[in-house]
Amino acid sequence: MTTGITTAFNRLEGLIDTSIAAMKASASIDDKALADAKGRALLELSRLGKGHAAEDEQTLEQVRRLRAKLAVEEKLLLRRLEAARIISEIVTEAVLAEESDGTYGPRAPMTTGLEALQ
């Protein structure tokens, strides 16, 4: 039983390591495939862990190591999400500015040149 849990932990750690390395290198990531693989690994862990107390030191160390890696991955994912939000705001503002005719927002007042005569 412990060997199966160790294998499942190693598989999940490998997936998280791959994710972290790709994000740190700004490499392309297939988010869906990675999420699916992590989901399967977590399902496997949950099935193997039912009714099995994590009392041995090796399993506890794997849990601690996995939590630390998940914290790093979370920070990197939050950074990616924030970058995507900023980029989407920039693109949205650019599109709105380009297509705006002033109907739904303030528009710079047009001058006719007659103001100088008054």
Is 44 inside a domain boundary? yes
Is 79 inside a domain boundary? yes
Report residue 111's pLDDT band, with 50, 70 and 90 as the boundaries: low
Is 22 inside a domain boundary? yes
Is 110 inside a domain boundary? no
The pLDDT of 48-76, averaged and rounded, is 85
Domain with 82, as residue range(s), is 2-100
Residue 26 region by backbone torsions, left for phi larger than 0, else alpha for psi between -120 and 50, else beta: left
CA–CA gap between residue 77 and residue 82 (Å, rounded) = 9
pLDDT tens figures, 3-25:
788 888 999 999 999 999 999 99
pLDDT tens figures, 92-110:
888 877 776 666 665 555 5
Is 118 inside a domain boundary? no
Residue type, 65: R
How many domains does the chain fold into? 1
Is 112 inside a domain boundary? no
